[in-house]
Each structure stands twice: as C-alpha cells, then as structure tokens.
Structure 1
Amino acid sequence: MINIQTVFDEMNLHEQIALQFLEPIPEDRMTEQPNGLRNHPTWILGHLTAAHNAAISILTDISIRPESETALFAIGSTPHADPALYPDKQTLIDNYLDIHQHYIAAVTAASPEKLAAPSPLERHKGRFSSLAMFVLHVGTAHEAYHLGQLSAWRQATGIAPPLNTDTGNYPKN
C-alpha cells in the first residue's frame, strides 16, 4: 500500500541520488551551462529547496528559507553562470537536506482537511485537484524531473555518466 511514508522514503532516495550526483562536481563548475543547458547544479538544488519551501509555506504559513533566496530559484527565475550570485555548494546541499526535514514535518502535521483543500495558488488551478496533490508532486515527480536534469548536466560536462539502474550503479537504501 502507498502511504505518506512511501513519499518520504522516495524523498530519502532522492537525497541519496542527489548527493551521489553532486559529489564529483567541483565547486567552480556548479554554475556551468554546457551545450545550451540552462539549469545548472546550483540552480537545480536551489530550485528544489525553493519548491519544498513553497509547499511548506502553503501548509504552515511559515517560510523556512529567506525570500531573497527563494526568489533566486523560483519558477521562472533565470539561472546565471556567475557563481558569486549563489550560495556555495555545501550551503546548497545543507539547505536541500534541511528543507526535506521541514517538509516531512509540515506534511505530517497537516490535517486531512487542509490537504483536501484546493491549493491557494492560481497557477495550480486545473493542475492539482487538491493541496495534497501539489505536495505529493513537489516531493516526488518535480524532484525526480530536476534530478534527471542534473544527470543530463553531468553527462554533458563529461564529469560523470548518468546512473545506470541496470548495472546496479544506483544508491542503496
């Protein structure tokens, strides 16, 4: 049976994949945009953190990350190649891991009525049938999509090939 713990387990797997993807990337290459790939590792990690922060904010009316940071990585923001515009790699990783814990706490504390309600964001109308659907999307599909971008970025830069689940090159729980 799929329950909320399954989503949290999936997020744990995402964390392991993200850390494995990020480990070989040197700090000075985190904002490269090879072959027309806009979304570099710095933006991807910051964007995932900002998305989880948005879900937390909707659920709790509290923002964990500062507005200046979430605006830098929000939907529609432009990834820049200048590393001076962004936090360093370790800070981004720490923020990403931390926001997952806040997300889990916020989702766990949310009432069934809150989760059944529609999202208050206009752009979600017609896309997510409930706040629960949006929260589930942030913790699973959205994160997996951007981790796929990170995999493509690694391949485009020659830093490392994508993970191959057929050969067992995949994080273990």
Structure 2
Amino acid sequence: MQSIATAITESANLSIGYAQRLMTDVKADQFGRFATGSNGPIDSNHPAFVFGHLCLYPARMLEDLGLDASKIEAPANYHELFKPGVACSDDVNGDIYPPMDEIMSRFYDSYAAALKEIANIDNAAYEVANPLERMRERFSTMGSMHTFYMGGHMMMHLGQISAWRRAIGMPAA
C-alpha cells in the first residue's frame, strides 16, 4: 500500500521538475516583470511573485506536522511580499522583489528539505483532521491539504508562469 507521504512527494517532484523546465531561458531582468500585450503590461503573476509565494509553503507544511521548520522558514519580507491576498507588482526597476537567484535557491532548497522530512511521515499524521479551520471545509485532513499544496496549488501557480512565458514570446516548457 502506498503511503500518503509517497503520494505527496511524488506529486511534488513532478511539480518541481515542471518548475525547472519553466525557468529555462528566463533572464533575471524578466523575472519580476509583467508580460506586455498590445495595450501595455498584462496584470498577471510573473515568476518572481509565483516562486516567492510558493516559498512560503515548505515551512508551513513542516510546522503543520509539528516538525522544526526554522532552517527553511522564509524571511519576514517574503511573507509581506508573497502571502495569499497580496497583489503581484510589475518590478520595473528591480527593487520590489528579491533577486531571481535568491528566490529560486530558496524555492528549490526549501522544497528539497521539506520533502526529505515528509517522506518519512506515517499515514496516521496525515489522517488527522485539518487543524486549519478556514481550510477544513475544502481539505478535511492534513493529508488532503498537503497533497493540494504540493500538487494542485503548485501546478496552478506554475500554470501562471506557463502563460507568462507565452505572453512574452517564449516557447512552451
């Protein structure tokens, strides 16, 4: 029988592989910029915002499981810039968001560290009721919420980068 942790890590690895392909040929000066259409900038999430936002979730998942997340916790400015509900901005001068290398390193490193821990979690930890009341109606257990974080949530945001790539004239990943 496959464990819930295995399902979560396999989904995450697929998503992270897609993230790597999406970042092929993305330049630092494009990373925080809106795509431009015939009527000017297109108000949509660019890679800096998407990856910064996704950086918030590995530590959250470890904390949900009662594990130490201090080594992968995103800095306070990431929470201010990328928490749910914050609007993405066109970083024209490159002074709003952290640099591409920093965000991407944090993304890859924090997910690798979290997945290493998650791989060893027993099904019992994932079968408990979701402790987040505001999310419990959608995701009744910790396992269903973490499966969403590593699968649907990540892929939804990566789809934004796929559309952004096309809008700036890059090929499909």
Contact 2:58–2:111 (CA under 8 A) maintained in structure 1: yes
Q: Structure 1 residues 71 and 2, CA, compared in 2 at 3 Å: closer, same or farther?
A: farther
Distance in 2 (alpha carbons) for counterparts of 1:149 and 1:78: 14
Q: Percent identity?
A: 26
- Aligned equivalent of 2:56, options 47, 50, 54: 50
Q: Structure 1 residues 19 and 127, CA, compared in 2 at 3 Å: closer, same or farther?
A: same
- Aligned equivalent of 1:123, options 129, 134, 147: 134
Q: Following superposition of structure 1 onto structure 2, how do residues 42-121 of structure 1 map, counting pairs within 5 Å?
A: 42-59=48-65, 60=67, 62-63=69-70, 64=72, 65-82=74-91, 83-121=94-132
Q: TM-score, normalised by structure 1?
A: 0.82
| Mean CA deviation greater in 116-125 or 71-80 | 116-125
Q: Secondary structure at the match of 1:132?
A: helix
- Give the AA of the match of 1:75: P
Q: Structure 1 residue 16 and structure 2 residue 22: aligned?
A: no
Q: Secondary structure at the match of 2:45?
A: coil
Q: Secondary structure at the match of 1:151?
A: helix
Q: Structure 1 residues 125 and 61, CA, compared in 2 at 3 Å: closer, same or farther?
A: farther
Structure 1 residue 111: Cα displacement? 4.3
Moved over 6 A (4+): none
Instruction: Tell me the alpha carbon deviations over residues 22-48 of structure 1, each in whole angstroms, 9 at most, x when there is no partner.
Output: 121111111122253421110111111
Contact 2:6–2:119 (CA under 8 A) maintained in structure 1: no
Distance in 2 (alpha carbons) for counterparts of 1:73 and 1:100: 16
Q: Report the structure, 1 or 2, having the larger helix content.
A: 1
RMSD: 2.1
Structure 1 residue 132: Cα displacement? 0.8
**Match of 1:141?**
152
Contact 1:51–1:74 (CA under 8 A) maintained in structure 2: no
Q: TM-score, normalised by structure 2?
A: 0.82
Contact 2:48–2:97 (CA under 8 A) maintained in structure 1: yes
Contact 1:119–1:125 (CA under 8 A) maintained in structure 2: yes
Instruction: Tell me the alpha carbon deviations over residues 75-108 of structure 1, each in whole angstroms, 9 at most, x when there is no partner.
Output: 1111122231221111111111111122213323
Q: Structure 1 residues 97 and 70, CA, compared in 2 at 3 Å: closer, same or farther?
A: same
**Match of 1:162?**
172
- Give the AA of the match of 1:8: T
